[in-house]
Structure 1
Amino acid sequence: MNIKMRNVLAVIALMATVFISSCRKDDFDTPPAGGSDPGLIATTTIADLKAGYVAGNFDSIDTDIVISGVVIADDKSGNFYKTIVLQDSTGGIAIRIDISDYYTKYPIGRRVFVKCKGLWLGDYNELIQLGGYVDNSNPSQPSVEPIPYTLVDNYLFPGIYNLTVNPKLVTINQVLADPDFYQNTLIQLNQVEFADADTGKTYADMVLQQSSNLVVKNCSGGSIELRSSNFATFGGDNVPNGNGSLVSVFSVFGSDAQLYIRDVYDVAMDTTRCAGNPPPPGAGVNETFSSQTSGSDISLAGWSNTAVVGNRYWRAAVFSGDTYAQATAFGSSLPNMESWLITPAFDLATADTLTFRSSWGFFVHNGLSVWISTDYDGVNFASATWTQLTCTLAVQADGQYVWIPSGNVPLTAFSGNSAHIGFKYSGDGTTNTTTWRIDDVIVK
């Protein structure tokens, strides 16, 4: 790879093309299913692209290099601004683009190919970035600037949708020990919580209208910062005060390690804190799944999506504008499949009635059942006690895609301070392949 510094005239030429390039706007509310790749082939990996870079240098790329990766962070929630984060099997990179609401074209889970020739590789305080040109207006602090919006289509080529990037399960110590390796990749920390001093705060400072850094710690004394923008849709939400898991994009700012969540669904902290104080259960549950992305595994704050047998999870789907959760063994080679979608904890003293809707597709078996637990801690599924509930579920005679109300399912017979509801799907890839759907889960 031949990467070298170009004359500043290259920057001027790039900017001049902004005024002679034609504009194109691609609008759609819901990403089409599947999509297709553009016929490009990645010629190098993200790790190899970054391998020779030295912090503080700004290198122009003048060879025909193509990388590809899956979008792991977009701007839908507002926590990422004009920066798209791609990850392949070797690493991740941030690409600056001068487009707002780009999640409509480059949503999380979509593969994107990038023609790198003509772009610049630089860093923002050691966070490596690709951009359109270098701003040298402040010679002591040059910066890689976004690709002008009229030129983005010359460099970024979207491909298929609904690809899953599983976060790397790591510890705080691991990412702090090798920040270059984890930079701009999706990671998951388990058994972590917000510091005591931050549990009463919101993700961002909405009073002063500024971003906030909050401390996330484990029970061994390790800690790392979570940074959230005041422009994020969740900026005014209170952080949870329990212990659990955190999925985030790992970033750096100089010597400081930072985490960025995509939305609150990345945070699931509803179990006992390190100090031994369990978080208070919620007053109830009211979930329509409308915040979920069709074709992606259900990921909601406080909810557990667990593959007990096999490797399939409950996923979001959309039909006639309605988003719901569904599970199916159809199209798999699994000899057995068991997947659970479990609600956050709720207070039995104030919420004692469950309602929801169910439906099926391509009926061959009864694979949906509903359960309750008063001792599930949000993490250790196998050690919890589950009791099956009696409720009305869709049956074959109801017909395909017909939503059937569960009726009022009483929970007053169960004692304890809190409880979780679990929706269990069981099947296999050979004969028991019915698709089962649930929606409008309410406990009040």
Structure 2
Amino acid sequence: MKTNKFLKIVLGLMVTFATVSCVQDDDYTVPTSQGDEESAALANLIATGIEVDMEYVKELYNSSPGIPFEVEDNIYVIGYVSSSDKTGNFFKEFFMQDSPSNPMGGLKVVLDELDSYNQFNQGRQVYISLKGTFIGEERVGNGIYTIGGGTEFDQYGGTVTRLNVNQVGNNLLRSSVTEEIVPLNVTFSEITDQHVGVFVQVDGVEFAANLNGLRYFDPIQVYDTQRTMQTCTGFGYASFSLETSSFANFKAELLPTGNGSIKAVVNKTFDGSARVLALNNVSDVNMNSDRCTPLDFSDFEVIYEEDFQSAVDGTNLDLPGWTNFAEAGSRVWREEAFQGNGYAEFSTFGSGDVSNIGWLVTPGFDMDAQENEFINFTAAQHHLDSPDNTIEVFVSTDYDGSDVLGATWEPLVASFPTQANSWYEFVDSGLIDVSSYSGTLYVAFKVTGSGTNEQLDGAYQVDNFVMLASM
């Protein structure tokens, strides 16, 4: 009897040891090496496969949008995990970006696995063997490039399904490398679809004042809650949404009331209609400073102002002192008026021109007549489908009033609307310091687009241009 009891204890210890030794990587001790099988599979992939970048992967799906692309070639893509499902804010998915710092883009991976952070911890370098996988969207039209293990089709089109347990083991191969993911510093207005999946940091951010006393998740909602964040930009605010899942373990925490920074992954809403930020952990929110206050016009002297309220709807812009010039194509800036508001607009839709480039140049300003000059304006967009459909602002001190292309134009940094903004939502440029210039200064707006490329046939509007001097 004693012998049988002893054997039971030994067997119990052996089972316990075997169980512990087979547990996947945990949060406390993420191993620096993989098992022999995974290491061998990774070595074989590198030796026999062809490496492609994330843009190549995206183009595979772009070749037949709406229909998931089945990869048949022995190719692989490398990425660094940017998200974590440890807190429950991501579910059976992870994002990865193409570099641990200064990334150019990201991809989403859907897998039939819970607590994937144990295996695919943030910063882990992952090689994805793409052969036998599908590239597409998890929901039709959401615009998130996703790697999945199968497909489903309905009346709306085709989507990718999660990688099964065997595909996870065979196609998602970790290296021994775990890098620190350095957040990409951006402003709200700079975030585009190219940043989906990227770990970013926004500074000078706070939650909207009407959210004071509320929590990350609204208990009356079922799945996700969006909370409005804002940053001060000149005389107004730029806004963006933070989305929190009902499964996040921090959902009941109060929203901070101060100003500071937030680090999060760029994601999209369920239907893909808007970009949002999603937290890996609430510790990535640091808002302990005083809230910001937009600038007050009463603290400045207005040197020049154009609100375009004299605009004659649907005519070519011909305001006194302004230059309206087409560098390429037939289109020029137009005067538009909508619901009592006048503005200047450059639209390439229906022009029939392969390239449309339009310049709108202000009158000249005597920069020696006062000090501490700033400019400010608002801008909006509609039907914008690509970041290549651009608006820029420049200044020149050698423009002669007529030869636009013969002048030297220096670019200015300003906040402009992107696809993330609603159509006709005017965005404040921020207060732009031009006090270092002397002589006669001209300000120019330049829009680049196309009348034959649907991705570049959007429109931009400019309104409320002012030249100011601080008092």
Q: Which amino acid aligns with 1:262?
A: N
Distance change >3 Å, CA 143–CA 199, structure 1 → 2? farther
Question: More deviation in 42-51 or 61-70?
Answer: 42-51
Contact 1:206/1:235, CA 8 A, preserved across alignment: no
Per-residue CA distance 1:310-351 (angstroms, 9 max, x = gap): xxxxxxxxxxxxxxxxxxxxxxxxxxxxxxxxxxxxxxxxxx
Aligned to 1:49: 57
Distance in structure 2 (CA, Å) of the matches to 1:249 and 1:219: 22
What secondary structure sits across from 1:74 in the alignment?
coil
Q: Which amino acid aligns with 1:60?
A: E
Q: Normalization by structure 2: what TM-score?
A: 0.50
The alignment yields a C-alpha RMSD, in angstroms, of 2.1
Distance change >3 Å, CA 173–CA 75, structure 1 → 2? same
Distance change >3 Å, CA 165–CA 130, structure 1 → 2? same
Q: Which amino acid aligns with 1:256?
A: A
Confirm whether residue 234 of structure 1 aligns to residue 268 of structure 2.
no
Q: Which amino acid aligns with 1:183?
A: V
User: Of the candidates 23, 32, 35, which is equivalent to residue 33 of structure 2?
Assistant: 35
Distance in structure 2 (CA, Å) of the matches to 1:84 and 1:161: 17
Rg bigger for which structure?
2
Per-residue CA distance 1:42-67 (angstroms, 9 max, x = gap): 70111221135335332111111111
Aligned to 2:123: 109
Aligned to 2:203: 190
Distance change >3 Å, CA 25–CA 82, structure 1 → 2? farther
Confirm whether residue 128 of structure 1 aligns to residue 141 of structure 2.
no
**For residues 11-410 of structure 1, what are the structure 2 equivalents within 5 Å?**
26-29=23-26, 30-35=28-33, 38-39=42-43, 40-41=45-46, 43-54=51-62, 55-89=65-99, 90-123=104-137, 124=139, 125-136=142-153, 138-175=154-191, 179-220=192-233, 221-253=237-269, 254-275=272-293
Distance in structure 2 (CA, Å) of the matches to 1:100 and 1:25: 16
Distance in structure 2 (CA, Å) of the matches to 1:32 and 1:262: 17
Distance in structure 1 (CA, Å) of the matches to 2:79 and 2:257: 35
Distance change >3 Å, CA 100–CA 65, structure 1 → 2? same
Post-superposition shift, 1:150? 3.0
Distance in structure 1 (CA, Å) of the matches to 2:288 and 2:273: 31
What secondary structure sits across from 1:53 in the alignment?
helix
Distance in structure 1 (CA, Å) of the matches to 2:56 and 2:167: 25
Distance in structure 2 (CA, Å) of the matches to 1:48 and 1:28: 31
Q: Which amino acid aligns with 1:218?
A: T
Distance in structure 2 (CA, Å) of the matches to 1:45 and 1:261: 26
Percent sequence identity over aligned pairs: 28
Post-superposition shift, 1:207? 4.8
Number of residue pairs matched? 249
Distance in structure 2 (CA, Å) of the matches to 1:150 and 1:52: 24
What secondary structure sits across from 1:204 in the alignment?
coil
Contact 2:93/2:108, CA 8 A, preserved across alignment: yes
Post-superposition shift, 1:274? 1.6
Post-superposition shift, 1:180? 2.6
Normalized per residue, the structure richer in helix is 2
Which residues of structure 2 form unaligned runs of 5+?
Answer: 1-20, 295-471
Runs of 4+ in 1 over 4 A off after TM superposition: none
Q: Normalization by structure 1: what TM-score?
A: 0.53
Post-superposition shift, 1:187? 1.0
Distance in structure 1 (CA, Å) of the matches to 2:186 and 2:253: 26
Post-superposition shift, 1:151? 2.5
Distance change >3 Å, CA 34–CA 25, structure 1 → 2? closer
Question: More deviation in 258-267 or 154-163?
Answer: 154-163
Distance change >3 Å, CA 127–CA 258, structure 1 → 2? same
Q: Which amino acid aligns with 1:46?
A: M
Per-residue CA distance 1:116-135 (angstroms, 9 max, x = gap): 01111112311111101111
Distance in structure 1 (CA, Å) of the matches to 2:213 and 2:75: 48
Distance in structure 2 (CA, Å) of the matches to 1:205 and 1:227: 11
Q: Which amino acid aligns with 1:186?
A: F
